[in-house]
Amino acid sequence: MDELNIENKIIVTALSNQKRAVFRDHFLELHFYDQMQLFASFTQQQRQRIYRFLSPKELGDMFDEFAEDETMVISYLKEMTPQLAANVLSEMFTDNTVDILGQMEKSDLATYLNLMPKDEIPEVRKLLNYDDKTAGALMTTEYVSIDQNKTVSTAMQIIRHQASDAEIIYYLYVLDDAQNLIGVVTLRDLMISDKRTEIKTIMNPYVYSVQVDDDQEDVAQKVREYDFLAVPVVNQAGHMLGIITVDDIIDVIDEESAEDYSGLAGVNVDDTKESPWSAALHRLPWLVTLLVLGMSTASLINHFDGLVSQASILAVFISLITGTAGNAGTQSLAIAIRKISVENDRKIWRLISNEVLTGVLIGIVTAVVITIIVGVWKHNFILGGVIGISMMVAIVVANLAGSLIPILMDKIGVDPAVASGPFISTLSDLTSVMIYFSIAQLFLKYLI
């Protein structure tokens, strides 16, 4: 947007010339995201000036946009006086405040927390205690609630009053005296109703909520199904604790899919600005570990050295068998990782049997194909059969490993995406070679 570039120039000029009013006029007109982008490009001197030109609330609104980059926000907060930093933190949406405090050194956290407005401290402390990746860790407490006996016009007044503080005003949550969530009414419902109507007659009593310790993936699934703009979070007793808005759900979906993807590839795909040095440093530990695992395959082939010396033709098909089994195993792994996040137990065990069965069917077809190809090529159908059967069994074993291992890891509490593609294919190299040479040994006299 050219208009944006022009605006940015005006803002930067006003800042340099210390024209507070001009700066505020133009800067505050920008969308918060654009404020954030511009702010991130400033020098420390320019930033110090902005901390004086903007109010804590205005700074807080902008920092809400930085929410995922907690390290960056923390460095900015440290440039301010502790009291100002605490004020800015308290003006941010509570879910973001909590994310940032959670990334700090404990001493800094304590400092800022104690300087925040007294009424906010208990809430923030509570949210800090929720496990990462649960509804409790995602939620914010800035929602609008109302009593069911109030009227539509009272509801409208409440919304007007809270419009600048609540994270979302389009859903109102109906609570009873004990803070139980008993219904929800949308702003749309309010707009089409007569002003004197009581909330209880227009509210939806079937209100979908999530539990505070629900996994974030389950929350995302509910939002996907019901197309919510926000979903309320309750505890086991049914008391309303907070809401999660759809933009945070999008972040969860991105995070979860990046994890699954990274797991399959065996590399963290989110460090987008890595230099080759740090990329190599990150990937090496895992690659070297797999290298050591690959050495056991090498020593296995070494163990069968006598066999290979007698029938050197066997060496020709090593990579064909390990490669094909590896491809099949990776497919099973990919499907298992996706299914684990959405399915329940009973279906998961069926997943394994399905994958093994699929492996058998694939194995039979590939075995026939390869037997024919090798038999014709080398004029030796027993050789072809050895390769074919080895490949079939190797594929079935690879499919079994690819589906079973992530499930077992999930059961013992390790993220199944850790059972990465490279690990499964390296493991299947080992099993494939073992199967291949064992079968070849049986038919050795036909292969020499």
Q: Which of residues 327-346 bind its own copies (CB under 8 A)?
A: 327-328, 330-331, 333-335, 338-339
Q: How far is CA 75 from CA 42, 80, 81, 103, 104, in A?
A: 14, 9, 12, 11, 10
Considering the complex, what minimum distance in angstroms separates the CB of residue 43 from its own copies?
24
Give the CA angle between residues 37, 38, 44 to the nearest 5°. 115
The site for its own copies, by CB under 8 A, has a size of: 107
Strands 230-234 and 240-245: antiparallel
CB-nearer residue toward its own copies: 31 or 125: 31
Residues 123-142 that bind its own copies (CB under 8 A): none
Q: Of 88, 104, 234, 267, which one interacts with its own copies (CB under 8 A)?
A: 267
- Please, which of residues 170-229 interact with its own copies by CB under 8 A? 170, 187-188, 191-192, 204, 206, 208, 223-227, 229
Least distance to its own copies from the beta carbon of 47, Å? 22
Token pair recorded at residue 342? 């959405």
What secondary structure does DSSP assign to 254-321, as a single string?
A: HHHHHHHHHHHHTS-TT-TT--HHHHHHHHHHHHHHHHHHHHHHHHHHHHTHHHHHH-THHHHTHHHH
Answer yes or no whether residue 301 interacts with its own copies by CB under 8 A: yes
Q: Does position 31 bind its own copies by CB under 8 A? A: yes
d(CA 263, CA 177): 47
243 binds its own copies (CB under 8 A): no
How far is residue 261 from each of residues 91, 130, 167, measured CA to CA in Å? Answer: 36, 26, 31
430 contact partners, CB below 8 Å, separation of at least 6: 293, 296, 297, 300
The only residue of 178, 196, 276, 413 in contact with its own copies, by rule CB under 8 A: 276
> Alpha helices of 18-93 — where are they, by DSSP H?
20-27, 32-39, 44-53, 56-63, 70-77, 82-91
Figure out which of the listed residues 6, 40, 110, 298 binds its own copies, where binding follows CB under 8 A: 298
Comparing CB distances to its own copies, the nearer of 39 and 112 is: 39
Least distance from C-beta 129 to its own copies, angstroms?
26
- Judged by CB under 8 A, the residue of 324, 341, 371, 403 near its own copies is 324
- Residue 262 as a binder of its own copies (CB under 8 A): the answer is yes
Q: Which of residues 349-378 bind its own copies (CB under 8 A)?
A: 354-355, 357-358, 360-362, 365-366, 369-370, 373
Q: Pick the closer one to its own copies by CB: 4 or 408.
A: 4
Q: Which two tokens stand for residue 39?
A: 């702010």
